[in-house]
Structure 1
């Protein structure tokens, strides 16, 4: 008796594709690999996704959404710092997914641009940075991005000994305080505001 036919849905294909990337990396994402995981031929994969390029785009978008979940968490009282901490913790927990999004030479820049736009909005909406002009805020964002991505890549490659949330938080606090203070021309006044002021949260005083 023949086994029942496999019902292939878009959701099942995306879930299978995401698991392949999570376990084996972006380069392992092929129609044959997805089909093997679902127990079907490659025909249904193309039928529900259209092309492997479309499937790759949607997988990267799912990864971006998972990353957004990390960067939206409240690790501290500062959304800007939370974004950096979340980015590094995502790299720690999902190294292959992080590399798929930021380490591979794919051509799906739109997915990454959406993430960068969300980070820019976080900076623009934070009253801490209201005194800075748009150009200064963008430069600040790029500098923090450079550090966050660099630390994330070090974490992925196993070059950071302590990858606990507390340790990552402290690192982001120290560099964040320095970079933001530099953006304000060396004036630490941006960090004032009482015992829970931004400067303490960013590493200028006590840390959480």
Structure 2
């Protein structure tokens, strides 16, 4: 009777995750995992059914870490904390962020993209619904705020992740998002009145835009 392996599936997943986290998903091979575990490749194939299964486990572990970043209380405003957590994840966990959003596998895995999008929209809308300063706004207005904040947050996250802009401290990120969130929420709430102003109408006319479709 062969000796029972001292390794479990979770050991393989943890080793693979550490490689991806440190060096990137393209460096995660059976040989690299074995090196991380200080073993041969045999435990990998005996503990894991397929590389696809391993890939899914790594992605799940990365998503779980992203969620932990997003639910951590930093400002006491949960919907703002989610955005801050998302950006900090991109800043601190560069390789995991790239795996989830920019690798070829992520681009092809439409199910992963849909799950990430559905999760973000569902949780964020739940936070917005419970944010009392926005009680007067309609669902459509809240979705408008959510879309604009998501676009801004993702842009900051991508630029920080790729060092396109100078590094920002957590305090700087909080201040930027608080300011931007305030501008967006105020803009959505007061937009109809603002667009009645002559100076705003003139801006739309110069840009050749139809106010009714903005």
Q: TM over 0.5: same fold? A: yes
The answer to whether structure 1 residue 59 and structure 2 residue 58 are counterparts is yes
The answer to whether structure 1 residue 181 and structure 2 residue 181 are counterparts is no
1:39-81 CA distance string (max 9 Å, x none): 3444432443322222112211111111111111222131111
The answer to whether structure 1 residue 121 and structure 2 residue 126 are counterparts is yes
| 1:169 to partner: Cα distance | 0.9
Aligned to 1:112: 116
1:161 to 163, 166, 187: 166
Aligned to 1:98: 97
Aligned to 1:138: 143
Structure 1 pair 49/131, CA: closer, same or farther in 2 (3 Å)?
Answer: farther
> Any idea what SS the aligned residue of 1:185 has?
helix
**Regions of 4+ moved over 6 Å:** none
1:108-157 CA distance string (max 9 Å, x none): 33552354132332223323333333333223212111111110111112
Aligned residues: 185
> Any idea what SS the aligned residue of 1:59 has?
helix
Structure 2 distance, partners of 1:114, 1:58, is 19
The answer to whether structure 1 residue 26 and structure 2 residue 57 are counterparts is no
User: Over aligned residues, Cα RMSD in angstroms?
Assistant: 2.5
Structure 1 portions without partners, runs of 5+: 188-208
Structure 2 distance, partners of 1:185, 1:82, is 24
Aligned to 2:210: none
> Any idea what SS the aligned residue of 2:190 has?
coil
Larger radius of gyration: 2
Structure 2 distance, partners of 1:83, 1:64, is 13
> Any idea what SS the aligned residue of 2:97 has?
helix
Structure 2 portions without partners, runs of 5+: 193-214
Structure 1 distance, partners of 2:152, 2:138, is 22
What is the TM-score with the length of structure 1 in the denominator? 0.77
Structure 1 pair 111/57, CA: closer, same or farther in 2 (3 Å)?
Answer: farther
Aligned to 1:50: 49
Aligned to 1:81: 80
Structure 1 distance, partners of 2:45, 2:126, is 36
Question: 2:70·2:83 contact (CA, 8 Å) conserved in 1?
Answer: yes
